[in-house]
Amino acid sequence: MIARMAKNPDLANKYHSKLNSMHAMEEQLKSIEALAANEQQLLDLLDAAEDQLGTTEFMAGFAFSIADAAMIPVLARIELLKLDDELIQPRPRVLEYWERMKERPSYRKVIGRYSSRLKMMKLIVPSICNVGIRSLFKKY
How confident is the model at residue 10, as a pLDDT?
80
For the cut 80, the answer to whether the pLDDT of residue 118 exceeds it is no
In this structure, of 89-93, 95-99, 120-124, 128-132, the range with the lowest mean pLDDT score is: 120-124
105 close to 115: Cβ distance less than 8 angstroms: no
In this structure, of 41-55, 59-73, 119-133, the range with the lowest mean pLDDT score is: 119-133
8-44 pLDDT per residue, tens = 778 778 877 888 888 887 777 777 887 888 899 999 9
57-104 pLDDT per residue, tens = 999 999 999 999 999 999 999 998 899 999 999 999 999 999 999 999
74 close to 45: Cβ distance less than 8 angstroms: yes
**pTM for the structure as a whole:** 0.65
Cα–Cα distances (Å) from 104 to 68, 72, 120, in that order, read 12, 11, 20
